[in-house]
Amino acid sequence: MAPLKLAIIGGGPSAFYVASRLLSLFPKDEPLASQLRIHIYDRLWAPHGLVRYGVAPDHPEVKVCVFPPGPPVLSNAIPLSQNCTHKFDEVAADPRLRFFGNVQVGPQTPPAIAHSLPISLSALRPHYTHLLLSTGCTVPTLHAALPPSDRTIPALSLVHWYTQHPTRPSPPPLHRTEHVSVIGQGNVALDVARMLLTPPDVLDRYDVPASVLDVLHRSAVRHVSIIGRRGPLQAAFTTKELRELTTLPGASMLPLAPELVASPPAGTKLTRQQSRILQILQQRAQTTTTTTPGAATAERTWSLDFFRSPTGFTSDGRHLALAHTALDERSRAVPTGATSQLRTDLVVTALGHHADPESAYYDPASGHLRTDRGRVLDATGRALRRVYASGWAATGARGVLAATMIDAYAVADAILGDHFGDSSGAAGAGCSDDDDDDDDDALVSSSDVDPESVPREIEEGVRDKRIVRYDQWKKVDAEEVRRGEEGKERERMGWEEARDFLTRTAAW
């Protein structure tokens, strides 16, 4: 086996799944194992990506991943479940894998992380034979009529605030916000609504930073409107998310108009999820409060506002202008000509995410990198030699962790198939036969590389205590858990506090 030294850009679940499969297929005690090295670079100082910075704190069960028993294989075997981070710890314990956190490879997508160490992609080239882009979808999709402002924020900013993301978004002005309008009806929209409506004393035991809880304790939010341009059967949220919101203590759902939850005409085929969502809404329609949002005597309330599409703020800046919509024959939302206004203090746009549009391999039509079976394509559709993408960077912002695992294993197999010169016709499809090491288009070197080398900038960053390695992260992780022992999952550290802790404990 020729040396395979893989640089992975991004340290989320997809990166660790790819690494897991490659390392498992070449166990440490086999002769070929010495020819494999994997280095993971992440712009965040802590690993695990969305598992740490994207999952709602009150949903720790979402962090449970599936792994087939034994070496990972693509089969119909019933998988075992365990916490993602525990499995990723096992992967990182393999000496052939190294993690370098707080390293920004290539240009930064705003908002920037000031303390991350910048390094160019070209600086990696002489040190690796293969490159994997697992950079995710880090850019929020914005609403054309509602650009970010002091009254409009992307849901991603709110999520990054309550997960203490290193981009350090400002906390929302909840102390002077009574009515929040969330644009979008996916799971993230319901996550945001639930976090704003859940009593802080309930959130106390979860992985919610103390600074976030302080803001939530002072929150004046009384009502959250969850606005979508189509109807209940087209909503993107899951049954689980809806049921959880409908049973949230201390918050009541405002009633829906009967026609919105009426059973569809006989013969209409509904998916299982559509049927369950309709059943939940029909049940709640009979029990929900009749109070109006913001009423002085009402508890916290929320509503699902279907068939509404925002067109911007009114001239007084206090109301959200809404166009009323209906479904056409292709189930697309079209304006009816009717309009209304909604008094609101804060708008949160939850319309999804896409990959970095500044990437040379970004496809604006799909919102992610141009790929074919895990291989990154150039603008002409030609597969780049030994350059791959996995996870949301390759598939778009959709799917659960199990889907990410399956995709990652397939990409790992593509890497191995190409490396070993698979003659089946599938591996390497679209790649140039030219294997010239001096090809200007190559992003990685095809010549022999030093298995242990890293770019000079990385060596200096480690020496200057700007880069976090996995063993150092585990010390921070243990300290966060220790600080949360008083009935709380953990108490998170920010970069400055983590750096000071590592310095004080001589962990660098």
Same domain, 10 and 62: yes
Same domain, 181 and 294: yes
Same domain, 241 and 347: yes
State the pLDDT at residue 28. 86
The four Cα atoms 462, 466, 470, 472 give a dihedral, to 10 degrees, of: 100
pLDDT at residue 82 tops 70: no
DSSP string, 455-490: -HHHHHHHHTT--B-HHHHHHHHHHHHHHTTTTSS-
> How far are the Cα atoms of 131, 132, 277, 355, 443 from residue 385, in angstroms, in the given order?
9, 11, 46, 21, 8
Label each residue of 94-125 as H, E or C.
CCCEEEEECEEECCCCCCCCCCCEEECHHHHH
Same domain, 405 and 483: no
Same domain, 207 and 347: yes
Domain that holds residue 485: 470-508
Structural Rg of the chain based on CA atoms: 24
pLDDT at residue 149 tops 50: yes
> How far are the Cα atoms of 162, 274, 330, 366, 407 from residue 470, in angstroms, in the given order?
24, 43, 50, 34, 24
CB 368 within 8 A of CB 139: no
Residues 6+ apart with CB under 8 A from 93: none
| Residues 296-313, mean pLDDT to the nearest whole number | 88
The last residue of one of the domains, among 318, 333, 351, is 351
Number of domain units in the chain: 3
Tell me if the pTM is above 0.85.
Answer: yes
422 CB-contact burial (10 Å; exposed 0-12 / middle 13-18 / buried 19+)? middle
The last residue of one of the domains, among 322, 351, 380, is 351
pLDDT at residue 89 tops 80: yes
Same domain, 255 and 268: yes
The last residue of one of the domains, among 290, 317, 351, is 351
Label each residue of 323-380 as H, E or C.
EEEEECCCCCEEEEEEEEEEECCEEEECCCEECCCCCCCEECCCCEECEECCEEECCC
Same domain, 374 and 404: yes
Q: Give residue-wise pLDDT tens across range 18-35.
A: 999 999 999 988 888 999
CATH number of the domain that residue 443 is part of: 3.40.50.720
CATH number of the domain that residue 279 is part of: 3.50.50.60
Q: Give residue-wise pLDDT tens across range 398-451.
A: 888 889 999 999 999 999 999 988 433 344 444 544 444 444 456 787 667 999
> In whole numbers, what is the pLDDT of the chain averaged over residues?
90
Q: Give residue-wise pLDDT tens across range 449-485.
A: 999 999 999 999 999 999 999 999 999 999 999 999 8
State the pLDDT at residue 423. 33
pLDDT at residue 133 tops 50: yes
Same domain, 306 and 182: yes
pLDDT at residue 347 tops 50: yes
Same domain, 385 and 419: yes
Q: How confident is the model at residue 293 (pLDDT cuts 50, 70, 90)?
A: low
pLDDT at residue 294 tops 70: no
Same domain, 114 and 259: no
Collapsed DSSP state (helix, strand, coil) of residue 498: helix
- What is the distance, to the nearest Å, from the Cα of residue 32 to the centroid of all Cα atoms in its chain? 35
State the pLDDT at residue 436. 44
State the pLDDT at residue 62. 75
Q: Give residue-wise pLDDT tens across range 159-189.
A: 999 999 999 999 999 999 999 999 999 999 9
Q: What percent of the chain has pLDDT over 90?
A: 79
Residues 6+ apart with CB under 8 A from 401: 13, 51, 62, 65, 66, 84
Same domain, 74 and 194: no
Q: How confident is the model at residue 296 (pLDDT cuts 50, 70, 90)?
A: very low
- What is the distance, to the nearest Å, from the Cα of residue 149 to the centroid of all Cα atoms in its chain? 23
State the pLDDT at residue 67. 60
Same domain, 17 and 114: yes
